[in-house]
């Protein structure tokens, strides 16, 4: 097939598009938009290589019309799911490590701000009152991180640096972490939850972790814990989080990722009405909208990866993959399906 | 003289008053209010021992009517100034160390949130857009802390723990800090400013530091630096901060303390009009009100000390001082005038 462009980059916000334009292999035609495929209303592919982040849904009909897919994200379950749905695949790449530190640092900002009830502090500036603004000290508190992969181990590093007591849960514990960080230890999921003043979810999204942190499991946390999710929203249903917050079991919630994130984005970004969201997902989106108005929650728009350093690394990794593909027909960091 | 109460506690917010009531020596009569002396409209002292934080102004006429003063703060320049103004003094106490870690942790929340432009991230949640939300990674950045006293050395500890390059300025350098924190070094004030991505003011307020960080001195910072002040507002005039922000020399400002803080409090808390503020201080208050509406600034209501741990330590130190005073006529941590 012939296309108007060699590669189309969806979900590329301003700074990323600029950086990509600088770094991508020359002599090719590229298309950039901040929109997802759906928001772009592209019925047919406009390029042989389609690049997205995690919010676009690849149309089934495109599988026979495109040559390759690049997801500019560390997670690629959405690409695997697409191939499973199609019963076939095309060449595909992902970006394994570009943003681990940036994501961990944003998680830290969320958990420390929640311990010190920053949203209430900011609100109280307008009256210069201090009633109800007593927070909790960070040093000496217990932090549990779920999964000690690329992001999780950066979280261990940061929490250890802040003088916290750090516990990790992972299906494949890495004992070298305990050697590197005195005081760090692994525990079972249940133990990790029970002891946590701060619980950080850095789990990959898999069939096992999907909805793993539901009201029953998360209900095991120490009363008054704060919960931070910078991994994938599907791991912890929003209605359950809201319920645990309202019951006082969680005292604060920090999210950068969302259950039903595509639907949430279409409401917030595209102005779609809540009623237009299919019923089975409407409650989830409504719960997120409710959390947005709660001073016990700090919500950011899937932006934890977004630093100058990681935007640069991300565009560089994307362009190295594309360059290799143009020259050899193979990606550097392929998704193996 | 005889008084209605043995001791009157001004500026005691809810959680603090509760903790004080638990811990203060029994068998005495205490008065508590969240108001300053001025806001309370107390013309005559209602107790022989007057306790405030930093926002009350001690009336000159009270010096002959009261026995003692306790400032529930680490800074006590306002008490010294009162005694100088009166040409005489009474017994006085302050609280040397109750909140150093809490203050340093709040400073950290401010500088990390500014590097990651958290206010804009929060605002962009409502549109789920990411344009303009690219922040800066924390690890590897240069932080300079002005003064390495009780709070400053906690800031060194935290910044070092986050993997930052830390420089200190102090008129009495403590070389043991360099031994404890590999990479930490002392520099002149000018050097400390020039190299800083993050500049944190932890200076005590003295004749020398009053207005020390004005537009000329602060203008020496690395372009785009963020500035955080958790010490005393008088050290850095607000109009100058606003000017440096608007000129792009500073990219972010985090404040927990304010120049003309008493006037600011009377406007924000008491609903006084800006016009009621004496002309020489009106511009300063107006500049702070303008900063409050700027997403490049994060302002908190002099609340950095406020954690469960420090409220407890503060009330405990206050009550130990009072107990010693009742029994021996001497404070444990006296202000030597």
Residues A282 and A192 in one domain: yes
The shortest C-alpha distance from B231 to chain A (Å) reads 17
Mean pLDDT (chain A) is: 96
pLDDT score of B121 more than 70: yes
Residues A30 and A140 in one domain: no
In a domain, B105, yes or no: yes
**What are residue B124's phi and psi, to 5 degrees?**
-75, -10
Residues of B in contact with A139 (CB under 8 A): 101, 105
A20, A130, A137, A292: best to mutate for the B interface, most B CBs within 10 A: A130
C-alpha dihedral (B224, B225, B228, B229), degrees to nearest 10 = -100
Which pair of structure tokens corresponds to residue B38?
Answer: 């001025």
Q: CA nearest A135 in B: which residue?
A: B307
**What are residue B169's phi and psi, to 5 degrees?**
-125, 135
Residues B294 and B227 in one domain: yes
Residues A94 and A108 in one domain: no
Strand partners, B9: B32, B51
pLDDT tens, residue by residue, A11-68: 999 989 999 999 999 999 999 999 999 999 999 999 999 999 988 999 999 999 999 9
Write down the pLDDT at residue A182.
Answer: 92
Strand pairing category for A47-52 and A5-9: parallel
Pairwise CA distance, residues B164 & B155, whole Å: 11
Residues A148 and A233 in one domain: yes
In a domain, B334, yes or no: no
| Residue span of the structural domain in which B172 resides | 100-299
Residues B129 and B246 in one domain: yes
The shortest C-alpha distance from A89 to chain B (Å) reads 30
Is the CB of B101 less than 8 angstroms away from the CB of A139? yes
Nearest CA-CA partner of B78 in B51, B107, B53: B53
Of B118, B129, B264, nearest to A128 by CB-CB distance is B264
pLDDT score of B270 more than 90: no
pLDDT tens, residue by residue, A245-296: 999 999 999 999 999 999 999 999 878 899 999 999 999 999 999 999 999 9
pLDDT score of B315 more than 90: yes
DSSP letter string, B16-69 = HHHHHHHHSPSSS-EEE-SS-HHHHT-SS-SEEEEEE-SS----GGGGGT-SEE
Is the CB of B301 less than 8 angstroms away from the CB of A130? yes
In a domain, A149, yes or no: yes
Assess contact for A194 and A167: CB atoms under 8 A.
no
pLDDT classification of B213: cutoffs 50, 70, 90 = very high
Which pair of structure tokens corresponds to residue B169?
Answer: 């300025």
Write down the pLDDT at residue A315.
Answer: 95
Residues A209 and A65 in one domain: no
Pairwise CA distance, residues B100 & B121, whole Å: 29
Mean per-residue pLDDT, B139-155 = 97
Residues B136 and B256 in one domain: yes
The shortest C-alpha distance from A330 to chain B (Å) reads 31
Nearest CA-CA partner of A289 in A231, A238, A240, A227: A238
Nearest CA-CA partner of A232 in A203, A253, A208, A252: A203
The shortest C-alpha distance from B104 to chain A (Å) reads 10
Of A14, A102, A136, nearest to B307 by CB-CB distance is A136
Residues B58 and B35 in one domain: yes
Pairs of CB atoms within 8 A across A/B: 169
The shortest C-alpha distance from A239 to chain B (Å) reads 19
Mean per-residue pLDDT, B72-101 = 94
Residues of A in contact with B269 (CB under 8 A): 127-129
Of A15, A130, A162, nearest to B158 by CB-CB distance is A162
Mean per-residue pLDDT, A110-119 = 98
Mean per-residue pLDDT, B56-74 = 96
Pairwise CA distance, residues B157 & A198, whole Å: 21
The domain total for chain A is 2
Instruction: Give the list of residues 6+ apart from residue B319 with CB closer than 8 angstroms, or none.
Output: B20, B23, B24, B25
pLDDT tens, residue by residue, B221-264: 999 999 999 999 999 999 999 999 999 999 999 999 999 999 99
pLDDT score of B107 more than 70: yes
How buried is residue B337: exposed, middle or buried, by Cβ count under 10 Å (0-12/13-18/19+)?
Answer: middle
Write down the pLDDT at residue B99.
Answer: 93
| ipTM of the complex, rounded to two decimals | 0.88
In a domain, B27, yes or no: yes
In a domain, B336, yes or no: no
Residues A73 and A111 in one domain: no
CATH of the domain at A216: 3.40.50.720
Counting residues of chain A whose pLDDT is more than 90, the rounded percentage is 93
Which pair of structure tokens corresponds to residue A215?
Answer: 């009201």
Pairwise CA distance, residues A55 & A111, whole Å: 25
Of B15, B269, B302, nearest to A127 by CB-CB distance is B269
Which pair of structure tokens corresponds to residue B273?
Answer: 């009009």
Supply the pTM of this predicted model: 0.89
Which pair of structure tokens corresponds to residue B44?
Answer: 């005559």
Which pair of structure tokens corresponds to residue A332?
Answer: 């550097």
Nearest CA-CA partner of A233 in A117, A33, A119, A78: A78
Q: CA nearest B161 in A: which residue?
A: A161
Q: Is B312 on the interface with A (CB under 8 A)?
A: no
pLDDT score of A1 more than 80: no
Q: Is B160 on the interface with A (CB under 8 A)?
A: yes
Write down the pLDDT at residue A75.
Answer: 86
Write down the pLDDT at residue A130.
Answer: 86
Is the CB of B133 less than 8 angstroms away from the CB of A306? yes
Residues A146 and A170 in one domain: yes
Residues of B in contact with A108 (CB under 8 A): 112
pLDDT score of A202 more than 70: yes
In a domain, B18, yes or no: yes
CB atoms within 10 A of CB A39: 17
pLDDT classification of B130: cutoffs 50, 70, 90 = confident
In a domain, A291, yes or no: yes
Pairwise CA distance, residues B243 & B101, whole Å: 31
Is the CB of B101 less than 8 angstroms away from the CB of A303? no
pLDDT score of B337 more than 70: no
- Residue B212's region, left for phi above 0, alpha for psi from -120 to 50, else beta, is alpha
Q: Which of residues 116-145 of A touch B (CB under 8 A)?
A: 116, 118, 121-122, 124-139
Is the CB of B311 less than 8 angstroms away from the CB of A127? no
Side-by-side strand order, sheet with A68-71: A30-32, A5-9, A47-52, A68-71, A91-93
* CB contact burial B132-170 (16+ within 10 A = b; e otherwise): ebbbbbbbebbbbbbbbbbbbbbbbbbbbbbbbbbbbbb
Is the CB of A137 less than 8 angstroms away from the CB of B308? yes
Instruction: Give the list of residues 6+ apart from residue A269 with CB closer than 8 angstroms, or none.
Output: A39, B127, B128, B129
E strand segments, B76-220: 91-93, 142-146, 165-169, 185-186, 198-201
Nearest CA-CA partner of B144 in B256, B219, B221: B221
Q: CA nearest A312 in B: which residue?
A: B134
Counting residues of chain B whose pLDDT is more than 70, the rounded percentage is 100
Q: Is A106 on the interface with B (CB under 8 A)?
A: yes
In a domain, B194, yes or no: yes
pLDDT classification of A337: cutoffs 50, 70, 90 = low
DSSP tally for chain A: helices H, then strands E: 12, 12
Residues A114 and A82 in one domain: no
Of B101, B116, B122, nearest to A106 by CB-CB distance is B116
Q: CA nearest B13 in A: which residue?
A: A131
Q: Is A80 on the interface with B (CB under 8 A)?
A: no
Instruction: Give the list of residues 6+ apart from residue A310 with CB closer than 8 angstroms, or none.
Output: A98, A99, A101, A102, B137
């Amino acid at each position: 097939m012939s296309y108007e462009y060699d590669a189309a980059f969806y979900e590329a916000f301003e700074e990323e598009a600029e950086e990509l334009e600088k770094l991508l292999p020359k002599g090719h035609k590229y298309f950039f938009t901040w929109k997802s495929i759906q928001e772009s209303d592209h019925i047919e592919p406009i390029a042989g290589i389609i690049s997205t982040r995690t919010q676009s849904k690849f149309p089934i009909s495109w599988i026979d019309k495109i040559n390759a897919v690049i997801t500019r994200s560390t997670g690629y379950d959405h690409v695997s799911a697409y191939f499973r749905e199609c019963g076939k695949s095309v060449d595909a790449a992902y970006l394994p490590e570009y943003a681990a530190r940036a994501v961990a640092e944003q998680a830290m900002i969320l958990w420390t701000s929640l311990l010190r009830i920053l949203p209430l502090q900011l609100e109280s500036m307008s009256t210069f009152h201090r009633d109800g603004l007593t927070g909790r000290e960070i040093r000496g508190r217990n932090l549990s991180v779920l999964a000690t992969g690329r992001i999780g181990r950066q979280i261990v590093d940061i929490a250890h640096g802040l003088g916290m007591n750090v516990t990790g849960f992972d299906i494949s514990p890495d004992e070298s972490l305990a050697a590197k960080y005195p005081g760090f230890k692994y525990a079972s999921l249940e133990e990790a939850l029970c002891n946590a003043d701060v619980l950080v979810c850095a789990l990959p999204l898999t069939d096992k972790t999907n909805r793993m942190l539901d009201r029953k499991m998360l209900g095991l946390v120490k009363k008054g814990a704060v919960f931070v999710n910078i991994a994938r929203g599907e791991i912890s249903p929003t209605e359950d989080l809201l319920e645990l917050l309202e019951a006082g079991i969680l005292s604060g919630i920090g999210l950068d990722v969302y259950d039903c994130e595509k639907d949430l984005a279409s409401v917030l970004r595209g102005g779609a009405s809540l009623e237009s969201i299919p019923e089975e997902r409407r409650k989830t989106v409504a719960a997120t909208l409710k959390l947005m108005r709660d001073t016990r929650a700090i919500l950011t728009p899937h932006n934890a990866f977004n630093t100058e350093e990681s935007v640069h690394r991300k565009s560089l990794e994307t362009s190295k993959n594309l360059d290799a593909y143009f020259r050899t027909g193979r990606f550097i960091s392929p998704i193996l399906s």
